[in-house]
Amino acid sequence: MDRVLTNGLVKVNRVQALSPEFGMKIVALALAASIALIGASDVRGAEEEPAALIPEVVDFSKLLPLLPEAPADWTADKAEGSTDDAGGVKITSVHRDYKKGTADNAPTTSISILDSAANPEYVAATTAAWNLTATTPEGYTKALTVEGMPGFETFENEGKHGTLWLMVAKRYVLQIETQSQESKDLQDWLKRIDLKKLAAVK
């Protein structure tokens, strides 16, 4: 039997729950491809606009400090990030992994931030896909709003796997992914991130 939640997310979200090690790199490349596909006609128009009007992604070093330190009884890997040029489209992403204990099934969390450079087509396509709300025996998906910013949350009962996305300042895609934790822990992790500081990064 297919897992409805997982398959559904692949269809409705460009930013998907991916492995902590490679997630945001893959998402970054997907974003570059989506911008190219979405904006085939827009790119021609952009070539006629002054370069100053085309938004630039921030350097990853500005986003690294926004990744929180580990809470008590947790450990955190070193925060990582990069600003890459993927086929002429610059992409900035940062990422940090957290773990509680050393057991194979120990609770884990990964936090990632992707700068979409306020690309209106990408922002619109992503947030429009976050309107699905459903509850099944397997878990749930739901749209949410945090401090006026659109988001999306999913939770799968098997493995207690949760993912929360939030579009901050209409450009930063914040993703929090938890494993072996309760659904409420997604919001607890979100509270550890200073959203106002993230929104102010330019």
- Which residues neighbour 124 within 8 Å (Cβ) at sequence distance 6 or greater? none
* CA nearest neighbour of 7 among 132, 126, 117: 132
For residues 22 and 79, give the distance between their C-alpha atoms in angstroms, rounded to a whole number.
14
For residues 169 and 126, give the distance between their C-alpha atoms in angstroms, rounded to a whole number.
14
Q: Are the C-beta atoms of residues 155 and 161 closer than 8 Å to each other?
A: yes
Residue ranges per domain, the chain?
4-200
Selecting from 1.10.20, 3.40.1000, 1.20.120, 3.30.1310, what CATH number does the domain 4-200 have? 3.40.1000
How many angstroms from the chain centroid is the CA of residue 14?
Answer: 10
Burial per residue of 67-101, b for 16 or more beta-carbon CB atoms within 10 angstroms, e otherwise: bbebeeeeebeebbbebeeeeebbbbbbbbbbbbe
For residues 95 and 90, give the distance between their C-alpha atoms in angstroms, rounded to a whole number.
17
> Which residues of the chain register pLDDT less than 50?
1-52
Q: Which amino acid is at 178?
A: T
What's the CA angle centered on 126, arms 122 and 131, to 5 degrees? Answer: 150
- Which residues neighbour 11 within 8 Å (Cβ) at sequence distance 6 or greater? none
State the residue for tokens 């690309």: 119
**Tokens matching residue 115:** 């700068």
Q: What angle, 0 to 180 degrees and rounded to 10, lies between the N-to-C axes of helices 40-47 and 23-38?
A: 80
State the residue for tokens 């938004």: 55
For residues 63 and 61, give the distance between their C-alpha atoms in angstroms, rounded to a whole number.
5
Q: Which amino acid is at 117?
A: A
pTM surpassing 0.85?
Answer: no
